[in-house]
Structure 1
């Protein structure tokens, strides 16, 4: 297990518990259980550098089923722009950078790899919206026929801290996952791209997607936590920040700061920070997603 930067250190999270759980139906024919589940997390050095990257490697012989990341002490002035499982599914890389407002205090970034012994049919599928000047983008990555999503990642290319990742989430159907991103409220003059990384495998016992949506209000910091059910455990995580339907996304007004696995109870946590200067009446919510399966 290695990283970019100095020695790893743990991250503490004291955030809210589950509000609502929606379960996805099983698809396909179940294969063997998920042996050797293990969460590996690595945290970068904490300093005032404007950008940071870190990676978490699975132990030898294990592969990545799910990926997550977090920005620590970054508040509303640090953008997490990459949560990327490697092509060989042995590593998760997470990167972040300060917004154009800058941040004078120290902050760090953490990468999470949810690892297990190899499971049948495991592969990474990518889908990209090529670089252009669109103000908002969303990309769906679909698993091959007969496979389910176990985890998801996303990355913004050339956003320069002025494009905010708003969704990195598996769909309830378990056949695909989606990422979305938007330029901040001051706009971005350059071209940027968005890529979705779907981790797919043959269906697993007890596999389901659970999601919790936090409250719709104008609080500046929000979180949501969801829990696996029926003795299943987390194999993948996702998160989103959004304004109430029918509008999707957070319109470039919220920085997503955590998309992480939790173990008590098993599930996922997502959180966000409203970008400084937004109107007090701006209403939004955080959502947490977990892909669960029988260990």
Structure 2
């Protein structure tokens, strides 16, 4: 029997190098990876933060607040909150803005008092979810037709193989008489677009109890921030819709599942209600929607919250 002693010194180094070269050649030929049998995969969304500036508390009938992202970061999505609001303050803008060149990304929100208005002081808060750039991220905008329907909507669709990261919308030429509602299209794990709609306010009833509504022409824009997945399980949209009843206001929370965090959110209210808040907590664990119904109308009504959650 022939005995072989363990390699030492230069011989050990040659054996080790040969083994490494053999492994590398095998990997190149078969597509296998060299190293850990289960390599860690990076999440789709880098660590993100929430920026949430507030306007002054006063009685200005129209307010716009901008939540800017830190330099070098991109806005994924965002939210809005009317502080000390009521059913006569309507949100008309929730817009993710991707800046060009050296500008800062931001999430811009606007709210206005309707034709009834309020004597209360109130403030408007904007939320921006910001992160280092996400590979393949795009912002899609779609403008709907100009008309004077009681409700009008339009959808912005994500490009092929990308999915919704953030959402928004904007009312054009509503003159403070049209409130914004938004929702995510597609399924929970394959969200493929954003629908933005406008609901005309009812106004003050006449002597016969009829509400005049709004007679002007207006339109709505939908915004979808989209990105590809790294893993098929990277995204999940959570929708929470309580049963319709007379509760006013309705406070609806949509929490993200374990391992995922909020990148954006949407809120919806059925006529005769308005969305007063689509806010995101600092830890990005949930989206909270606050809907308020027109106080002059009785009966059941509904609304829902949607949290866009990514790993």
Q: Provide the TM-score with structure 1 as the length reference.
A: 0.81
Kindly provide the CA deviation profile for residues 191-245 of structure 1, in whole angstroms up to 9, marking residues without a partner as x: 111000000111144211111112310122101111111321111111111xxxx
Which stretch has the larger CA shift, 107-116 or 225-234? 225-234
> How far has the Cα of 1:36 moved from its partner?
2.4
Bigger fraction of residues in strand: 1
Which stretch has the larger CA shift, 226-235 or 56-65? 226-235
> How far has the Cα of 1:182 moved from its partner?
1.6
Give the root-mean-square deviation of aligned CA atoms.
1.8
Query: If you compute each CA radius of gyration, which structure gives the higher value, 1 or 2?
Result: 2
From the superposition, tell whether residues 169 and 110 of structure 1 become closer, same or farther in structure 2 (CA, over 3 Å). Answer: farther
Q: Is the 8 A contact 1:100 1:161 kept in 2?
A: yes
2:165 corresponds in structure 1 to 150
1:237 corresponds in structure 2 to 265
2:193 is aligned with 1:182: no
> How far has the Cα of 1:148 moved from its partner?
0.6
From the superposition, tell whether residues 264 and 201 of structure 1 become closer, same or farther in structure 2 (CA, over 3 Å). Answer: closer
2:61 is aligned with 1:50: yes
Measured in 2, the distance between the counterparts of 1:33 and 1:170 equals 20
Measured in 2, the distance between the counterparts of 1:154 and 1:170 equals 14
- Note the residue ranges of structure 2 that are not aligned, 5 or more in a row: 1-40, 203-211
> How far has the Cα of 1:31 moved from its partner?
7.1
Measured in 2, the distance between the counterparts of 1:166 and 1:95 equals 13
Q: Return the structure number with greater relative CO, CA threshold 8 A, min gap 6.
A: 1
Kindly provide the CA deviation profile for residues 20-50 of structure 1, in whole angstroms up to 9, marking residues without a partner as x: xxxxxxxxxx974322210001111110011
2:90 is aligned with 1:79: yes
State how many pairs are aligned: 254
- Note the residue ranges of structure 1 that are not aligned, 5 or more in a row: 1-29, 242-249
Runs of 4 or more, structure 1, over 4 Å off, are: none
Q: Is the 8 A contact 1:169 1:239 kept in 2?
A: no
2:101 is aligned with 1:101: no
Measured in 2, the distance between the counterparts of 1:216 and 1:204 equals 38
Q: Provide the TM-score with structure 2 as the length reference.
A: 0.77
Bigger fraction of residues in helix: 2
2:310 is aligned with 1:293: yes
Kindly provide the CA deviation profile for residues 148-204 of structure 1, in whole angstroms up to 9, marking residues without a partner as x: 110100011111221122334454331111111121223111111100000011114
2:220 corresponds in structure 1 to 194
1:245 corresponds in structure 2 to none
From the superposition, tell whether residues 170 and 92 of structure 1 become closer, same or farther in structure 2 (CA, over 3 Å). Answer: farther
Measured in 2, the distance between the counterparts of 1:290 and 1:154 equals 16
